Amino acid sequence: MTPKDQLLKDLKIGCGKPRPVKAPTGSQLHCKGWYQEAALRMLCNNLDPDNGENPDELIVYGGLGKAARNWDCFDAIIKTLLDLENNETLLVQSGKPVGVLTTHTAAPRVLIANANIVPHWANWGTFHELDKKGLIMYGQMTAGSWIYIGTQGILQGTYETFAALGQKHFKSDLTGKIVVTAGLGGMGGAQPLSVTMANGVAICIEIDPSRIARRLEKRYLDVEADDLDAAIAMARKAAADRKPLSIGLCANVGDILPAMIQKGFIPDVITDQTSAHDELNGYFPAGLSFKDALTLRKSDPDTYKDMALNAMADHVRAILEMKDKGAIAFDYGNNLRAQAMKKGVDNAMDYPGFVPAYIRDLFCKGEGPFRWAALSGDPKDIKVTDDALMQLFPKKTKMINWLKMAQEKIEHMGLPSRICWLGYGEREKAGKLFNDLVRTGKVKAPIVIGRDHLDCGSVASPFRETEAMKDGSDAVADWALLNCMTNVASGATWVSFHDGGGVGIGYALHAGQVTVADGTDEAEIRVTTVLRNDPGTGIIRHADAGYQTAIDVANEKGVKLPMINMHGERP
């Protein structure tokens, strides 16, 4: 039996039914090239039971964030990738493979578009109508673009946020400080470990007991409290002892925050990372048990959505009250504030989003989430890349500390992977380094390099990444499209463009890229070009908006800015 036939058998391709999926590993090809092989393995990795949140339904994370539209589509994508030539490009429309075109060897092997609806109709109502007809799929950010690497994927970004918060508000880290938040799903599950990495104490509220169990098992969460009083007592003791601790509390955040206020417990920091962008599938109304909420969600979705939105309004009111009583409040990009505004909370925006509050200065430098996965399946390959990066950037002490913590604290989910934030110029150096590691055999198989769509130049999202832009260009989506086209032109292995992300249909447009380092000269050109130009669009975007830091970086790094040149503002 050929490797291809064996893989078809192992993945039960053609059965059209839910089943456990694991990415093939090792150095043996099943496809006609490593670019197709990488796409196949990363698609499977998204649905690995150790990785995806609800793989039987093809859901990876974030409410409805899926990797493929249905199991027949998944099977067809796999079969197409196995036969795809090195001068062909597969087109995927909302999780459904719709065509193969003859392009050229330097073109992307896959182009993906997910949940993009003409703006006038871009809302959840239209989406759900199309979804019922089997015409569309919600791709979240990295679910439908096949570069999800488990909760680690958002972990460093969350850590960067809490670290920046500590410096801004406390002139230190989070030692002795208590953070209250909710949501322990694929994104929110990064919060407890991120807070403890910043030396803080976290109370994480989650209504689904299986999610708490999963975070405990993967060591993202330290302990579970029996009730609110126990959680508060544990948090206060850990803060007094100046010891990091993360505490899970199985409850509905809508019930817990008012109870905290009534008890006179106001945390140092209050935020939230439930999937509030999707009022039907991502949020649980207050006053209902987990089981009763799931029943109502199916039996009466309209009532459920109305109850969820009302609960979100009360949720935001509680956050605002905690803010008024001294807590540092920030929105973690799940559109909770905008949802609350639908139910009359006109001052919901009185607390800021995390990007303008803590991350934008990094974006101005081209900093963002650089992630990679070892297609060999061997964790030792990630150790090799970690060590090589620390040698390549010996002065990036923050990155080095992060990588050391990650080696110690993070358990791989699916294919071994890593993430760290790198800036403009650094990403292309890292890409060449990884390609050299493959070329010289220091790692056992090619390395996939990608990122979250949450990056410096790839998103238009007025309630998240582009909130409160200096020039008022929050809702201008041209930049995300330019980023997408730039990555196609630069030779990314696969490129995606989505609507929705973490804030919901109609609220964001965003692009993603994934590029494969297979040790060849061609791959070196691809990875260095993509990893230079991809964050380069972020420098241009923020320089155009008037951020001096971005203009200075462009001047220093040689990023050409025609309009600024014309006005003589730089040589």
On whether 547 is known to bind a ligand per the annotation, the reply is: no
Is residue 73 flagged as an active site residue?
no
List of residues 6+ apart from 142 with CB closer than 8 A: 46, 60, 148, 149, 153, 450, 452, 453, 512
Find all residues with CB under 8 Å of 97, minimum gap 6, and list them.
73, 76, 77, 80, 90, 91
* 206 marked among binding-site residues: yes
188 labelled binding-site residue? yes
Decide: 434 and 517 in contact? Cβ < 8 Å: yes
Query: How far, in Å, CA of 556 to CA of 426, rounded?
Result: 14
Distance from C-alpha of 72 to C-alpha of 93, rounded to nearest angstrom: 14
Structure tokens at 334: 């799940």
Q: Which amino acid is at 17?
A: K
The strand pairing partners of 97, in sequence order, are: 92
Q: Please report which helix (H) or strand (E) contains residue 351, including its range.
A: none
For helices 152-170 and 397-409, angle between their N-to-C axes, nearest 10 degrees: 130
* Helix or strand (DSSP H, E) at 18: none
277 is in an annotated binding site: yes
The verdict on whether residue 276 carries a ligand-binding annotation is yes
Count the Cβ atoms, other than its own, within 10 Å of residue 511: 29
Torsion angles phi and psi, residue 199, rounded to 5: 70, 20
Distance of alpha carbon 201 from alpha carbon 176, whole angstroms: 7
Alpha-carbon distance of 316 to 267, in angstroms, equals 15
| Residue 304 assigned as binding residue | no
Which listed residue (364, 420, 456, 484) is catalytic?
Answer: 420
Which of 178, 170, 214 minimizes the C-alpha distance to 196?
178
Query: Tokens standing for 256?
Result: 């817990």
Residue 273 annotated in ligand binding: yes
Helix (H, G, I), strand (E, B), or coil: what is residue 286?
A: coil
Residue 120 pairs with which residues in a beta bridge? Answer: none
The annotation status of 566 as a binding-site residue, yes or no, is no
- Confirm whether residue 63 is marked as ligand binding: yes
- Beta-sheet pairing, 88-93 with 110-114: parallel
- Binding residues, by number, are 62-63, 140, 186-188, 206, 211, 273-277, 332, 502
Q: What are the residue numbers of the active site?
A: 420
Binding-site sequence positions for NAD(+): 62-63, 140, 186-188, 206, 211, 273-277, 332, 502
